Structure 1
Amino acid sequence: MTFQAYLDTIEAKTGLTRRELLAQAHHHGYDASTKAGVIVDWLKADHDLGRGHAMALVHVIKHGPRISTKHVGTTGTHRDETDTLWLDGRATRP
């Protein structure tokens, strides 16, 4: 599953875009210095997200929308089309 697909699934499951979830995270005081486990626990409790999906969002909270180019342009399972994740919702993705 691509990184972007993880984020799209989070939106489908929660009904919230990644930007909306980021706003909630910042409202709780979560940022790059917050331990991943704290964020994972919050996402499980408030949004019923499993660890894999929560960790995808942890990455965005801690590092922003940029990801490694390691899988960009490849044909493997974890391929992504770009090194920048779309955070504004599936319906608005170009």
Structure 2
Amino acid sequence: MSFQAYLDNIEAKTGKNPAGFRAWGKDKGFGAGAGLAPGVKAGEIVTALKDEFGLGHGHAMAIVALLKGAKKEGDA
């Protein structure tokens, strides 16, 4: 499955697109510009995504990659 397919599935489930998750990450204190805020661990973000949106581990990690800037929309 491509990264974009993960994002499409996540949006279908949550109603949030990548920009919405970036805003969510900043609001939660996870994001800092282009990347994660200092000291933020992937596990904290995954837990929040599972609790708040009911995402599974793989989909939550896709959002972590998006917030880190490691992946972006359209990536394979």
What TM-score do the two structures reach when normalised by structure 1?
A: 0.66
Query: Alpha carbon RMSD of aligned pairs, Å?
Result: 1.4
Contact 2:49-2:55 within 8 A present in 1 as well? yes
Identify which of 37, 42, 45 aligns with 2:43.
37
Q: Which runs of 4+ in 1 moved over 3 A?
A: none
3-state SS of 1:54 partner: helix
Residue identity in the other structure for 1:42: A
Report % sequence identity. Answer: 46
Higher alpha-carbon deviation: 31-40 or 53-62: 31-40
Return the offset for 1:22.
Answer: 1.2
Residue identity in the other structure for 1:43: L
The one of the two structures with greater contact order (alpha-carbon pairs below 8 A, sep at least 6) is 2
Deviations 1:30-83 (A, max 9, x none): 02232100000000000000000010110010116xx4xxxxxxxxxxxxxxxx
Measure the CA separation in 2 of the matches of 1:10 and 1:59.
Answer: 13
Is 2:61 aligned against 1:61? no
1:14-29 map, 5 Å: 14-29=14-29
Residue identity in the other structure for 1:85: E
Measure the CA separation in 2 of the matches of 1:20 and 1:85.
Answer: 13
Residue identity in the other structure for 2:21: L
* Structure 2 gap segments, 5+ residues each: none
Identify which of 54, 73, 76 aligns with 1:85.
73
**Structure in which a larger fraction of residues adopt helix:** 2
